[in-house]
Amino acid sequence: GQNIDQPTEMTATEGAIVQINCTYQTSGFNGLFWYQQHAGEAPTFLSYNVLDGLEEKGRFSSFLSRSKGYSYLLLKELQMKDSASYLCAVRNSGYSTLTFGKGTMLLVSP
């Protein structure tokens, strides 16, 4: 089975940097995804890590340590529109289904 933990809520200020952590325990691992979900909308893909290290994509970066079962999503130069839920998801080995954490609600204030 899979167990994925991430903080429930975080707050940050516009223009700041925020790091959202995710820890996981899995019986199989074939990659870790981060999705953004605005209220009432579908999740949208942000990043993917399958090897250890940092993946950078504009204002968003994601880090993975497979030996520690740990990932983080780093958001820089925060904007009000970044207020959303951020979902960490692990892809099982075997087939490409995703196991999601409960999501971290990020509130960006002026």
Assigned token pair, 7: 């903080």
Q: Could you tell me where the beta strands, DSSP code E, fall in 1-110? A: 2-5, 9-13, 18-26, 32-37, 44-49, 53-57, 60-65, 70-75, 84-91, 98-100, 104-109
Cβ proximity to another protein: between 38 and 77 the closer is 38
Nearest-approach distance from CB 37 to another protein, in angstroms: 9
To another protein, the closest distance from the beta carbon of 100 in angstroms equals: 3
Q: Which of 3, 5, 16, 41 binds another protein (CB under 8 A)?
A: 41
Residue 36 CA to its chain's centroid (Å): 8
Q: Which residues bind another protein (CB under 8 A)?
A: 4, 31, 33, 35, 41-45, 48, 50, 87, 89, 91, 94-103
